[in-house]
């Protein structure tokens, strides 16, 4: 997973959780993991698990677009991202299991549940 897809995985998982709660996130919050997490009700069992990952918000746009001088920011050290990779892997599996999604299946196979986690 690249830095961008790590951030996107967290973002898409949060959006799925918000959808299950009947909460619509505004487009202006689309890359803000902290804001999306905060929109989840406290009763949502995944809310606190996203807290250590909100720093990934910076990767949503920082490394996609060059600075004014035309250069990209320096890459972070892998040791900074390793804990996020591990946490996201576990979290993605847990969210997928909650919604009944087989990650090895086609993306055309629907989830078996849309219930909010409690």
Other Cβ atoms within 10 Å of 62 Cβ, number: 15
Instruction: Output the pLDDT for position 65.
Output: 65
The two most distant CA atoms of the chain are separated, in Å, by 49
The crossing angle, in degrees rounded to 10, of helices 78-99 and 3-20 is 30
Q: What is the mean pLDDT of the chain?
A: 87
Please say if the pLDDT value at position 66 is more than 60: yes
DSSP state of 75: P
Higher pLDDT, 98 or 5: 98
């Amino acid at each position: 997973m690249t830095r961008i897809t790590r951030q996107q995985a967290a973002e898409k998982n949060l959006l799925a959780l918000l959808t299950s709660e009947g909460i619509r996130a505004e487009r202006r919050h689309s890359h803000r993991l902290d804001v999306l997490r905060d929109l989840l009700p406290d009763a949502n069992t995944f809310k606190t698990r996203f807290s250590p990952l909100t720093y990934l918000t910076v990767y949503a746009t920082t490394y996609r677009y060059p600075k004014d001088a035309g250069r990209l920011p320096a890459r972070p050290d892998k040791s900074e991202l390793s804990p996020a990779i591990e946490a996201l892997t576990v979290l993605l599996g847990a969210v997928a299991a909650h919604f009944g999604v087989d990650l090895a299946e086609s993306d055309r196979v629907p989830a078996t549940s849309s219930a909010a986690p409690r």
